[in-house]
């Protein structure tokens, strides 16, 4: 394990894209792109908290401006424009985004964190014309999301239910056939990504990242010594696990020195 970057606030939305590792610093309000050596190549200011992002197939960057309830896109001039206003669907802060073809799925936890918690999370479908509609309801703190390579299945981490939940994606973008992809009791899965044989999930309270197979078998565990908020498999050979880590709940206190880090773990190790 090595430290790629430190001095972060609360790092989230881990992504590997275009030969670089991308992440959002929710406390400092920026999206960063760093190379494998940790050199910061890009910094995009975003006006609200939380911040998550993904790309469409044509390379268009989509960004969730959570407390503003907006899905933004970045134009060729580097300016942020509103693609969809989600406030009519829920005025609670919006959270994670994942793309599937030319569509985007954005989830909302359904209450203002830290509580009181409710099983009121939703997922919205946003189409290329900016249209938005709800396609899933009654989720227990929906968090990280991934889509299979064939675009046929979406998996979402339900942090307050200790499970990864799957949906079939219909041709019109609707979600159906809801089912438990993996039950992970005593865990609160956060940011997720595909891994070899399953899905990696980050767990803040347990201070580790875990690779779990469909059905719930634990394949691998990587301890980090800090709360883990999100993870992504990357590197040129796709053999590095990048982890967003920070002390919890101290990371939410602006009077505490920033101790968030990007950790990189060689998956060829034990």
Q: How far is CA 87 from CA 66, 95, 97, 133, 251, in A?
A: 10, 13, 16, 11, 28
Stated pTM of the model: 0.95
Helix (H/G/I), strand (E/B), else coil: 98: strand
Residue 107, burial from CB neighbour count under 10 angstroms (0-12, 13-18, 19+): buried
What residues have CB less than 8 Å from 59, skipping those under 6 apart? none
Q: Taking a C-beta distance cutoff of 8 angstroms, is the pair 59, 102 a contact?
A: no
Please give the pLDDT value at position 270: 64
* Number of other residues whose CB lies within 10 A of the CB of residue 218: 13
**Which stretches in the chain have pLDDT values below 70?**
115-116, 269-270
Provide the pLDDT for residue 258: 77
DSSP string across 168-196: EEPTTS-EEEEEEEEE-TT--EEEEEEET
* Model confidence pLDDT, tens digit, residues 129-160: 999 999 999 999 999 999 999 999 999 999 99
Specify the number of domains making up the chain. 1
Report the CATH number that the domain containing residue 175 is assigned in CATH. 2.120.10.30
Q: In terms of residue numbers, what domain contains 151?
A: 2-266
Left if phi > 0, otherwise alpha if psi is -120 to 50, otherwise beta: which for 101?
left
Count of Cβ atoms closer than 10 Å to residue 180 Cβ? 15
- The pLDDT, as a whole number, for residue 117 is 74
């Amino acid at each position: 394990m090595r430290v790629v970057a430190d001095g972060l606030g609360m790092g989230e939305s881990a992504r590997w894209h275009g030969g670089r590792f991308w992440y959002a610093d929710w406390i400092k309000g920026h999206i960063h792109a760093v190379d494998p050596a940790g050199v910061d190549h890009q910094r995009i200011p975003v006006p609200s908290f939380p911040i998550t992002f993904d790309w469409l197939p044509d390379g268009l960057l989509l960004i969730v401006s959570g407390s503003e309830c907006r899905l933004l896109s970045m134009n060729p001039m580097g300016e942020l424009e509103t693609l969809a206003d989600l406030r009519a669907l829920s005025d609670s802060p919006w959270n994670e985004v994942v793309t599937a073809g030319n569509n985007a799925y954005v989830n909302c936890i359904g209450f203002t964190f830290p509580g009181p918690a409710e099983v009121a999370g939703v997922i919205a479908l946003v189409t290329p014309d900016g249209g938005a509609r709800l396609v899933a309801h009654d989720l227990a703190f929906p968090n990280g999301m991934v889509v299979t390579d064939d675009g046929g299945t979406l998996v979402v981490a339900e942090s307050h239910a200790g499970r990864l939940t799957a949906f079939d994606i219909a041709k019109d973008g609707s979600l159906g056939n809801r089912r438990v992809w993996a039950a992970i009791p005593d865990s609160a899965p956060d940011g997720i990504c595909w891994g070899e044989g399953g899905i990696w999930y980050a767990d803040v309270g347990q201070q580790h990242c875990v690779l779990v197979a469909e059905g719930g078998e634990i394949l691998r565990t990587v301890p980090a010594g800090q709360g883990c908020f999100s993870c992504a498999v990357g590197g040129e050979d796709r053999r590095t696990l990048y982890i967003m880590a920070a002390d919890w709940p101290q990371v939410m206190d602006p009077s505490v020195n920033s101790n968030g880090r990007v950790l990189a773990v060689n998956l060829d190790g034990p």
